[in-house]
Amino acid sequence: MSTITTKDGTEIYFKDWGKGPVVTFSHGWPLNADMWDEQMLFFAQNGFRTVAHDRRGHGRSSQASSGNDMNGYADDLAALIEALDLDSVTMVGHSTGGGEVARYIGRHGTKRVAQAVLIASVPPLLVKTPNNPEGLPLEVFDGMRSGLAKDRAQFYKEFARPFYGANKPGSNVSQGLLDQFWIWSMQSGLKNAYESIKAFSETDFTEDLKKFDVPTLVLHGEDDQIVPVKNSAMKTARLVKGAKDTYYPGAPHGITATHQDKINADLMTFIRSNR
């Protein structure tokens, strides 16, 4: 297996495909690097080096007891980038992974970063607060934690449907895609997935986004039931100077799978236009 070991002894699994300009991929909760396979294959076949890792506590990485927060996630990503000596990186993040990218730039800067892409991402802040009245009530995330602790297997089966919009009339989401989501989710550690809910919902990325000084693309589905577009992408696009934002009518949260060809094409156009 391809792994690095972080300063606290956590093993981080990664896959590294292709040769050429580097694109890194940070996955959403509670999945792993495999959610990016279609994007990684596409870019590897088109002259790029693609790198994706399993976040600590997810997939094939160690189920660490600590560090299950955005600072820990960002530092793990930094450790991977340093270990592989990656430079002029296009950083792509989906959902929680978008928060990981934002916090990486906030903590580690852009000396190794050429551009950034946030897809259906959680920044700037997901939970409702006095300063973020449009956010989701804390009770939503408390319910998620309760569902995990009680019966995570059933919770993930039910969560997959709104994730991909399979609960909408006329949906053509396959059973295989839903099953795949469950398999990936069950590979995450219960403690890790549980603590990650606080990380992705309560972390305020406002100051991180203000530090972006590279070309940035924001992509989001207009019918995202997990990370509502008005409270995330539309605010992010205003906070990141010069950001380009694209919205997909009727598209769900799991847009990298349901709109794979469109996402790949828009990513390719953006990456090539800024190199």
Point out the residues that are catalytic.
95, 224, 253
Continuous H helices in 23-137: 37-44, 70-83, 96-108
Q: Residues with Cβ < 8 Å from 23, sequence gap 6 or more?
A: 43, 48, 49, 50, 51, 89, 90, 92, 271
Task: Round to whole Å and give the CA distance between 158 and 141.
Answer: 15
* Selection from 16, 94, 54, 83 nearest residue 185 by Cα: 54
Burial class (CB in 10 A: 0-12, 13-18, 19+), 150: exposed
Please give the order of strands across the beta sheet that includes 49-53. 3-5, 11-17, 49-53, 22-26, 89-94, 113-119, 216-221, 244-248
